[in-house]
Amino acid sequence: MNPVQAGEFRHRIRILRRAEKADGEGFPVGEPEEVYRCWARVTMTSGTELVRANADFGQMKARFLIRWTSVPIDRKMWVEYGGKEWQIEYVNDYAGRQYLELWGVCESNSRS
C-alpha cells in the first residue's frame, strides 16, 4: 500500500444519519443528524470501471477515504459531499485502523 499524504485529504465531508423517530407509516421524520465531519480523499468511479463492472449508469459511485475514527459508521448512514447525498454501501477498516474506506452511491438524476 502506498502511503497516504496528508494533502490528499482536501475534501470536506459530513456523515449523517436519519432521525430514529418514525411517523405512523414507518418513515423517518425530523432533521438528519450529523454524526461526523472530517476531511477526506475522494475518488470518483470512472465510466470505464462502470462498464467493466456492468454497473448501472444511473448511479454515480465514489470512494471516500478518511482517517480512522472511533465514531461508529455504518451502511444506514450517508455522506454529504459536493451538494449530493451518497448512500454508504460499504465500510472498510483500511490499513489496520489507520483509515476508513467508505464506498458511496448517488443517483445521478438526484438534485440533493
The three state secondary structure string of the chain is: CCCCCHHHCCEEEEEEECCCCECCCCCECCCCEEEEEEEEEEEECCHHHHHHCCCCCCEEEEEEEEECCCCCCCCCCEEEECCEEEEEEEEEEECCCCEEEEEEEEECCCCC
**What pLDDT was estimated at residue 66?**
96
Per-residue pLDDT tens for 49-108?
Answer: 555 555 555 678 899 999 999 999 999 999 999 999 999 999 999 878 899 999 999 976
pLDDT of residue 110: 47
**CATH architecture of the domain with residue range 6-107:** Beta Barrel (2.40)
Look up the pTM and report it: 0.79
Q: Where are the domains of the chain?
A: 6-107
The more confident residue out of 2 and 4 is 4
Higher pLDDT, 101 or 22: 101
